[in-house]
């Protein structure tokens, strides 16, 4: 048995406004709004608790709930709430308790649109909510019974827009979708958390501003005496295809994996994985389309060293702006923390514009654990005119590396040119994650990469540069970067930054800069500025003109001095790399070695046709220019 209701009434349904539409909501608050609304809901009954006895009875399963609403009204809500599993019955003290029942599955779907907008300055909203039932707890006895599994939750909402009569203002169209899966029950072995999916779309309303949002939450795993339940996975997907109206529009997807349960004596549960994907196209003029994807992996159970991995996280945001609208997608992925292994994180952001403005931002953070999760962030952006920018940041929870960031930007005014920029930052062992990361497009004009490499990756990169490999022998490579620019834009700037926690290094050592063999044709030319600084002190600074960079970037090492004075008040060592101008491709490495490295003599530099090198070192407060 379950309760079901369907209502079409003259009232205003509650609507959760996205932050992007708050200003719009205030603007329309004083005007008359339509009153027709449709609500549909279904609620599953809970499972019965198991009876107690010499041998307790299993708890009943919660009933599922399902709602499928199709409407042309203005304010619409579809809700499905599944029933909770019943608790297992208690048994005679020398016998194990009964198992808990499973939570019911919830499914809610809403399809709206096609209506005639008969009111000026309307708001049209669709709200979808699905909640899976919790699993029941195991009954008591010699050992408790097993916990029931949490129920899954699936929610889908779509609005296809409507018709705006002549001389009417376009309404704001809002779609809000939420799915929350049930938690696993506790017991001898904890029940697994339920999985959740949320999908939202907004399309077919060319004269309407809009906001579309989807949020999915996986259920938590149940706590246990022996093996705890794993957290449920979460998947959120948002698609926006609207525009034509001058407004700031929004599309967002948020996925949060369920936390794993904690075990008293056995094994912790793993955190649930999370995947969020948001995409959108906007044709309005002079305004902005904001696309956001956030994915957070669940944490594992927390008891001691009893196993448990954090959930992985994947976030992808892509936005395309037509006319003179701006596209600003951002993707954020956070791996869950684990007792043994932190969750990996992958974030991809891609922006394109048909005319003037585009920028993409990606940030990935691996989860903490005995083995920190790896992180890879990638951002691409394409624009034919004016401003273009990319930023990728990878955060690491290991013992040494804290952050690696790569960024680039271009500007074209006097010399309009279609420019594709690419930035990627990596930290930890990302070899297994690279297939999920956006590959550098073949038509890329400007790029920058920054990597905190594993030992194996560093050795492979240095293999073709014996001078650098010899200099770093006995030391370590902290970071590797590459920059290139063939944009033809009026200006191009790029760089990278590295943050290291050197608190576990007892004796400060020499900071080394290695300039790799460029592997370019002998007639390649460049005109650029390249510098490295640490804690406000310039360590390397040079302008390159013509082909002299081919000699400089040719398996060459520079000793930048002892890095002890470069450590900030926070105990971290920050290195910043700056590039501006034109160069087909350069590659560099930074790291340390205990002893000083002989630098090229003045005569050798002169013979090579190299002049004007400036290396400033700070010893105490003084700087020496060589």
Q: What are the helix (H) ranges across 481-538?
A: none
Rounded Cα distance between 566 and 211, Å, is: 46
pLDDT value at residue 563: 85
SS3 for 552? helix
Lowest mean pLDDT across 178-182, 532-536, 598-602: 598-602
Residue 278 predicted with pLDDT over 90:
yes
Rounded Cα distance between 152 and 129, Å, is: 13
Give, rounded to a whole angstrom, the gap between the first and last alpha carbons of the chain. 84
pLDDT value at residue 173: 85
**Each residue's pLDDT tens digit, 540-575:** 999 999 898 998 999 999 999 888 888 888 889 999
Q: What is the mean pLDDT of residues 581-593?
A: 92
The pLDDT confidence band at residue 284, using thresholds 50, 70 and 90, is: low
**Each residue's pLDDT tens digit, 128-168:** 999 999 999 999 999 999 999 999 999 999 998 777 766 66
| Core vs surface per residue 281-308: b (16+ CB within 10 A) or e | bbbbeebbbbbbbbbbbbbbbbbeebbb
Residue 79 predicted with pLDDT over 50:
yes
pLDDT value at residue 3: 38
pLDDT value at residue 244: 57
Map tokens 């809009």 to a residue.
Answer: 210
SS3 for 537? strand
Calculated CA dihedral for residues 166, 75, 253, 335, nearest 10 degrees: 160
pLDDT value at residue 285: 59
Residue 596 predicted with pLDDT over 80:
no
Rounded Cα distance between 478 and 7, Å, is: 63
Locate 562 and state its tokens: 């002892």
| In the chain, % of residues over pLDDT 90 | 61
Q: Which of 302, 230, 224 is nearest to 265 (CA)?
A: 224
Lowest mean pLDDT across 104-113, 192-201, 311-320, 322-331: 322-331
Q: Which of 175, 185, 180 is nearest to 210 (CA)?
A: 175
Map tokens 């090579």 to a residue.
Answer: 608
Locate 313 and state its tokens: 């996280």
Q: What is the mean pLDDT of residues 160-182?
A: 82
| In the chain, % of residues over pLDDT 70 | 84
CB atoms within 10 A of CB 625: 10
Map tokens 């956070």 to a residue.
Answer: 334
**Each residue's pLDDT tens digit, 5-54:** 333 333 333 333 344 344 334 333 333 344 578 899 999 999 999 999 99
Decide which of 499 and 610 is more confident: 499
**Each residue's pLDDT tens digit, 53-73:** 999 999 999 999 999 999 988
Map tokens 């760089």 to a residue.
Answer: 495
Residue 343 predicted with pLDDT over 50:
yes
Map tokens 């909203």 to a residue.
Answer: 125
The pLDDT confidence band at residue 475, using thresholds 50, 70 and 90, is: confident
pLDDT value at residue 616: 32
pLDDT value at residue 340: 95
Question: Where do the structural domains in the chain lie, given as residue ranges?
Answer: 1-159+170-177+190-196+208-232, 268-450, 453-626
The pLDDT confidence band at residue 178, using thresholds 50, 70 and 90, is: very high
pLDDT value at residue 49: 97
The pLDDT confidence band at residue 121, using thresholds 50, 70 and 90, is: low
Q: What is the mean pLDDT of residues 354-364?
A: 90
493 bridge partner residues = 409, 580
Number of continuous H segments (helices) and E segments (strands) in the chain: 5, 32
pLDDT value at residue 163: 72
Locate 426 and state its tokens: 């990596």
Please give the mean pLDDT across all residues of the chain. 85
Rounded Cα distance between 600 and 559, Å, is: 10
Output the CA angle 619-625-626, nearest 5 degrees.
110
Hey, which of 261-275, 312-326, 487-501 has the most confident mean pLDDT?
261-275
Q: Which of 272, 202, 266, 200 is nearest to 236 (CA)?
A: 200
pLDDT value at residue 90: 96
Residue 621 predicted with pLDDT over 80:
no
């Amino acid at each position: 048995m379950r309760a079901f209701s369907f209502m079409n009434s003259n009232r205003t349904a509650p609507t959760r406004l996205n932050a992007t539409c708050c200003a719009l909501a205030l603007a329309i608050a004083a005007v008359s709004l339509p009153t027709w609304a449709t609500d549909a809901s279904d609620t599953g009954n809970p499972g019965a608790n198991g009876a107690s006895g010499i041998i307790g009875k299993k708890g009943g399963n919660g009933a599922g709930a399902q709602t499928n609403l199709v409407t042309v009204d203005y304010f619409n809500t579809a809700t499905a709430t599944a029933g909770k599993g019943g608790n297992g019955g208690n048994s005679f003290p020398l016998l194990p308790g009964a198992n808990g029942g499973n939570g019911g599955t919830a499914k809610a779907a809403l399809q709206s649109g096609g209506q005639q907008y008969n009111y000026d300055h309307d708001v049209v909203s669709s709200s979808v909510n699905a909640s899976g039932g919790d699993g029941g707890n195991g009954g008591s006895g010699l050992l408790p019974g097993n916990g029931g599994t949490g129920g899954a939750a699936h929610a889908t909402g779509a609005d296809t827009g409507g018709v705006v009569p002549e001389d009417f203002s376009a309404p704001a169209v809002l779609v809000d979708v939420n799915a929350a899966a049930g938690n696993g029950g506790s017991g001898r072995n904890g029940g697994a958390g339920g999985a959740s999916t949320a999908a939202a779309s907004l399309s077919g309303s060319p004269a309407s501003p809009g906001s579309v949002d989807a949020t999915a939450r996986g259920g938590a795993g149940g706590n246990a005496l022996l093996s705890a339940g794993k957290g449920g996975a979460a998947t959120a997907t948002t698609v926006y295809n609207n525009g034509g109206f001058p407004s700031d529009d929004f599309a967002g997807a948020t996925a949060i994996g369920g936390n794993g349960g904690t075990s008293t004596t056995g094994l912790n549960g793993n955190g649930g994985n999370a995947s969020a994907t948001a995409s959108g196209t906007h044709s309005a003029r002079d305004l902005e389309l904001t696309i956001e994807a956030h994915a957070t992996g669940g944490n594992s159970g927390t008891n001691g060293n009893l196993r448990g991995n954090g959930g992985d996280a994947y976030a992808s945001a892509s936005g395309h702006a037509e006319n003179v609208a701006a596209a600003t997608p951002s993707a954020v992925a956070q791996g869950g923390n684990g007792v043994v292994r932190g969750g990996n994180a992958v974030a991809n952001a891609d922006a394109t514009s048909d005319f003037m403005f585009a920028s993409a931002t990606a940030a990935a953070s691996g989860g903490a654990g005995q083995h920190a999760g790896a992180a890879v962030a990638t951002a691409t952006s394409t624009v034919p005119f004016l401003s273009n920018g990319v930023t990728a940041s990878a955060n690491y929870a290991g013992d040494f590396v804290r952050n690696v960031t790569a960024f680039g930007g271009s500007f074209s005014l006097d010399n309009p040119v279609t420019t594709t920029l690419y930035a990627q930052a990596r930290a930890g062992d990302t070899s297994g994650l690279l297939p999920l990361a956006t590959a550098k497009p073949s038509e890329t004009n400007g790029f920058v990469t920054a990597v905190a490499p594993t030992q194996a990756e560093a050795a492979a990169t240095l293999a073709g540069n014996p001078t650098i490999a010899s200099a770093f022998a006995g030391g370590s490579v902290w970071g590797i970067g590459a920059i290139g620019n063939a944009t033809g834009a009026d200006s191009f700037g790029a760089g990278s930054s590295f943050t290291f926690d050197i608190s576990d290094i007892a004796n400060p050592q020499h900071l080394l800069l290695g300039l790799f063999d460029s592997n370019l044709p002998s007639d390649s030319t460049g005109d650029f500025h390249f510098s490295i600084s640490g804690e406000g002190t310039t360590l390397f600074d040079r302008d390159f003109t013509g082909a002299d960079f081919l000699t400089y970037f040719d398996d060459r090492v520079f000793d930048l001095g002892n890095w002890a004075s470069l450590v900030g008040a926070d105990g971290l060592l920050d290195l910043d790399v700056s590039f501006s101008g034109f160069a087909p491709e350069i590659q560099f490495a930074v790291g340390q070695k205990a002893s000083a490295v002989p630098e090229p003599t003045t005569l050798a530099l002169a013979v090579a046709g190299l002049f004007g090198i400036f290396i400033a070192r700070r010893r105490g407060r003084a700087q020496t220019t060589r």
